């Protein structure tokens, strides 16, 4: 049974690549090579710690703890990305729970991420081996770490199988994802700052000594304890690790049994329907259609955590990220990156509708209302971006005393929000449409099998096209900073006007494309309903 599950996982990976044709096979090969290369490079770095026998155990204890934490939060962040994660798919199979649990464990060890982890941990085992006689012990310890990561992740996924299908569960996933994003931004700034060395020293010092008594960290210290003759310490750490593994296994078994034998209520955590749009709104022309779509998009963003999460990330990038990347009075220019991300939200104008787009074909099958629909989607993405960018720039100007650079910052941010990604995103939504899953439980579950190439092409059109469209505004801002401040004022005045002209042309061309290719676009985006 264990071999059957491993073969099933390999067949799923192979069939998923074969269904995408030659490109899918190429991506499969590149994925395996990337896992080997990344895991090998990380493992090589860990293996060099063998030359620092005093720092290696505590440093790797911190890494093992972080690795386990990453695997544990992965189901919260990426639940629904891997089809084999949800244990309810095996509910009707006549398999004893013990065999099913062992089979799922082995199948979970098959894939790109487990391969990269296994290679990296092998290097860590070499780094922990002060003598080659300790290598078998170190290999057993890193195997225990890998089992902790996989079993813990599966146990948490099984426990959340019903939770993540509800709105409350998606809210939890959104909160955890945003918290991880904030931590990543803060740690990235700390790692690039002047205190990076002291931060690394603390991981191999006091922090490492504390984490060395946690279950994953204890496995990193056992080889050094045995080498130095601390038999009691090694035994206690081994007992901690084994007890934790047994607890994880029992937790997974109970969670798996519950998820396979119980069904959640479909009305659990339901709430009274409400919205942010006018219930009496009627789409009769371009303006009223745009107003209707703005209210609808605002309502969907309020209800769907996966739509709110990008806005929270944009707020973090606009307010917090500039403080981490630069300390000069020109730090407000870094807010433009958040503005660009806000404009990109218009790239899924049709994708988020799914098969519901046929209602739009019936109701908005004329030029005026087709343009109004695109204007509405664009405005719903642009207005929050403008407000967030304005607040972010003003915070940087006040804190960094960069008032002399304010015109250029606002000109660049307003142009970046509208001209660079928004116009290109509207264009891409009609000319390179793609589907997104209509029942997402993860921000990363944003692609439909077989449409990865389309999604990648749409992203390229949005990013590269948006960057190219923003070049005139960037030139004016650079001239304002290097030649004369009047150019910065020109960017502030002409940037938004230039952006509106670009958006106007983009909406007109995209609406014509939508009307002429509506059945094909509907067929493409409807694939999201089946995921």
Domain residue extents for the chain: 2-185+202-261, 286-526
User: Is the confidence at residue 243, as pLDDT, over 90?
Assistant: yes
Residues in the chain: 531
Mean pLDDT computed over 472-484: 88
Three-class SS of residue 130?
Answer: coil
> Which residue is associated with the tokens 């299908």?
165
Mean pLDDT computed over 211-230: 88
- Confidence grade of residue 198 (pLDDT, cut at 50, 70, 90): very low
Residue that wins the pLDDT comparison between 196 and 435: 435
Q: Residue 85's pLDDT is what? A: 45
How do the residues of the chain divide into helix, strand and coil, expressed in percent and rounded to 5? 80, 0, 20
Q: Residue 162's pLDDT is what? A: 55
Mean pLDDT computed over 371-400: 86
Q: Are 142 and 121 in contact (CB under 8 A)?
A: yes
Q: Are 102 and 198 in contact (CB under 8 A)?
A: no
Q: Residue 211's pLDDT is what? A: 81
Cβ-defined contacts of 395-402 (< 8 Å, 24+) = 395/319, 396/322, 396/331, 396/332, 396/334, 396/335, 397/332, 399/323, 400/327, 400/328, 400/329, 400/330, 400/331, 400/332, 401/329, 402/328, 402/329, 402/330, 402/331, 402/332
Looking at the chain, the whole-number percentage of residues with pLDDT higher than 90 is 10
Residue that wins the pLDDT comparison between 28 and 118: 118
Q: Residue 464's pLDDT is what? A: 84
- 63-72, 291-300, 307-316, 401-410: which has the minimum mean pLDDT? 307-316
Mean pLDDT computed over 293-319: 77
DSSP one-letter string for 220-247: HHHHHHHHTT-HHHHHHHHHHHHHHHHH
Mean pLDDT computed over 326-332: 78
Q: Residue 240's pLDDT is what? A: 93
Residue that wins the pLDDT comparison between 276 and 58: 58
Contacts of 147 (CB under 8 A, 6+ apart): 105, 245
Mean pLDDT computed over 75-81: 49
Cα→Cα distances 92→45, 106, 257, 480, Å: 46, 20, 12, 68
- Nearest CA to 83 out of 102, 104, 59 is that of 104
Q: Residue 28's pLDDT is what? A: 81
Phi, psi dihedrals of residue 205, rounded to the nearest 5°: -120, -115
Report the distance separating Cα 370 and Cα 512, nearest Å.
8
User: Is the confidence at residue 82, as pLDDT, over 60?
Assistant: no
Report the distance separating Cα 143 and Cα 146, nearest Å.
5
Q: Residue 461's pLDDT is what? A: 83
**Phi/psi-derived region of residue 175, left when phi > 0, alpha when psi is between -120 and 50, beta in every other case:** alpha
Q: Residue 232's pLDDT is what? A: 92
User: Is the confidence at residue 313, as pLDDT, over 70?
Assistant: yes
Verdict on whether the full-model pTM lies above 0.75: no
- The two tokens of residue 511 are 């609406």
Mean pLDDT computed over 324-352: 78
Report the distance separating Cα 472 and Cα 497, nearest Å.
12
Largest CA distance in the chain: 83
Three-class SS of residue 444?
Answer: coil
Q: Residue 199's pLDDT is what? A: 42
- 86-90, 384-388, 414-418, 518-522: which has the minimum mean pLDDT? 86-90
Report the distance separating Cα 331 and Cα 325, nearest Å.
8
- H helix intervals, 19-55: 21-47
Q: Residue 176's pLDDT is what? A: 58
Q: What is the mean pLDDT of the chain?
A: 78
Q: Residue 321's pLDDT is what? A: 74
Q: Beta-carbon neighbour count of residue 274 at 10 Å?
A: 8
Looking at the chain, the whole-number percentage of residues with pLDDT higher than 70 is 77
Q: What is the pLDDT of residues 86-145, one digit of tens each?
A: 566 667 777 788 888 888 888 888 888 888 999 999 999 999 888 888 899 999 999 999
User: Is the confidence at residue 19, as pLDDT, over 80?
Assistant: no
Cα angle: 9, vertex 10, 11; to 5 degrees: 90
Q: Give the burial class of 494: count Cβ atoms within 10 A of its Cβ; 0-12 exposed, 13-18 middle, 19 or more buried.
A: middle
- H helix intervals, 204-320: 206-211, 215-227, 231-261, 286-303, 305-319
User: Is the confidence at residue 159, as pLDDT, over 70?
Assistant: yes
- Nearest CA to 380 out of 417, 428, 355 is that of 417
Q: What is the pLDDT of residues 250-274, one digit of tens each?
A: 998 888 888 777 765 444 444 444 5
- 205-214, 258-267, 304-313, 345-354: which has the minimum mean pLDDT? 258-267
Residue that wins the pLDDT comparison between 46 and 94: 46
- The two tokens of residue 416 are 């970046």
Cα→Cα distances 219→97, 113, 128, 201, 245, Å: 29, 21, 10, 20, 12
Mean pLDDT computed over 177-195: 53
- The two tokens of residue 345 are 């939200």
């Amino acid at each position: 049974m264990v071999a059957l599950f491993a073969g099933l996982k390999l067949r799923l990976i192979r069939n998923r690549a074969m269904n995408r044709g030659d490109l899918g096979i190429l991506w499969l090969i590149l994925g395996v090579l990337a896992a080997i290369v990344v895991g090998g490079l990380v493992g090589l770095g860990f293996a060099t710690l063998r030359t620092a026998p005093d720092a290696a155990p505590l440093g790797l204890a911190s890494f093992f703890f972080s690795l386990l934490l990453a695997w544990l939060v992965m189901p919260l962040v990426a639940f629904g990305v891997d089809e084999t994660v949800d244990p309810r798919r095996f509910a009707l199979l006549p398999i004893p729970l013990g065999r099913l649990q062992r089979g799922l464990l082995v199948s979970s060890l098959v894939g790109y991420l487990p391969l990269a982890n296994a290679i990296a941990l092998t290097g860590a085992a070499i780094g922990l081996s002060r003598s080659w006689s300790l290598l078998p012990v170190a290999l057993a310890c890193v195997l225990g770490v890998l089992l902790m990561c996989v079993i813990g992740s599966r146990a948490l996924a099984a426990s959340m199988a019903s939770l993540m299908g509800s709105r409350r569960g998606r809210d939890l996933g959104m909160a955890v994802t945003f918290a991880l994003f904030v931590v990543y931004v803060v740690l990235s700034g700390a790692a690039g700052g002047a205190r990076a060395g002291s931060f690394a020293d603390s991981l191999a010092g006091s922090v490492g000594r504390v984490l060395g008594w946690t279950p994953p960290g204890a496995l990193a210290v056992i080889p050094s304890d045995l080498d130095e003759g601390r038999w009691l310490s090694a035994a206690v750490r081994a007992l901690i690790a084994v007890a934790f593994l047994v607890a994880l296994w029992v937790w997974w078994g109970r969670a798996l049994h519950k998820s396979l034998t119980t069904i959640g209520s479909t009305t659990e955590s339901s709430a009274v329907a409400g919205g942010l749009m006018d219930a009496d709104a009627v789409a009769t022309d371009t303006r009223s259609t745009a107003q209707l779509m703005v209210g609808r998009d605002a309502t969907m963003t309020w209800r769907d955590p996966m739509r709110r999460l990008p806005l929270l990330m944009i707020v973090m990038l606009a307010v917090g990220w500039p403080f981490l990347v630069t300390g000069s009075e020109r730090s407000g220019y870094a807010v433009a990156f958040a503005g660009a991300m806000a404009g990109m939200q218009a790239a899924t104008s049709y994708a988020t509708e799914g098969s519901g787009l046929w209602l739009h074909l019936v109701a908005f099958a004329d030029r005026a209302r087709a343009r109004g629909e695109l204007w509405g989607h664009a405005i719903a993405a642009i207005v929050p971006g403008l407000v967030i960018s304005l607040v972010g720039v003003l915070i940087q100007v006040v804190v960094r005393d960069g008032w002399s650079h304010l015109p250029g910052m606002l000109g660049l941010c307003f142009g970046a929000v509208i001209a660079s990604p928004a116009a290109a995103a509207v264009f891409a939504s009609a000319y390179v449409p793609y589907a997104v899953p209509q029942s997402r439980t993860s921000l990363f579950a944003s692609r439909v099998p077989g449409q990865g190439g389309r999604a990648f092409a749409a992203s390229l059109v949005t990013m590269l096209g948006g960057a190219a469209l923003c070049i005139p505004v960037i030139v004016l801002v650079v001239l304002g900073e290097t030649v004369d401040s009047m150019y910065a004022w020109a960017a502030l005045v002409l940037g938004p006007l230039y952006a509106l002209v670009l958006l106007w042309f983009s909406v007109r061309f995209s609406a014509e494309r939508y009307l002429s290719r509506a059945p094909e676009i509907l067929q493409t985006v409807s694939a999201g309903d089946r995921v």
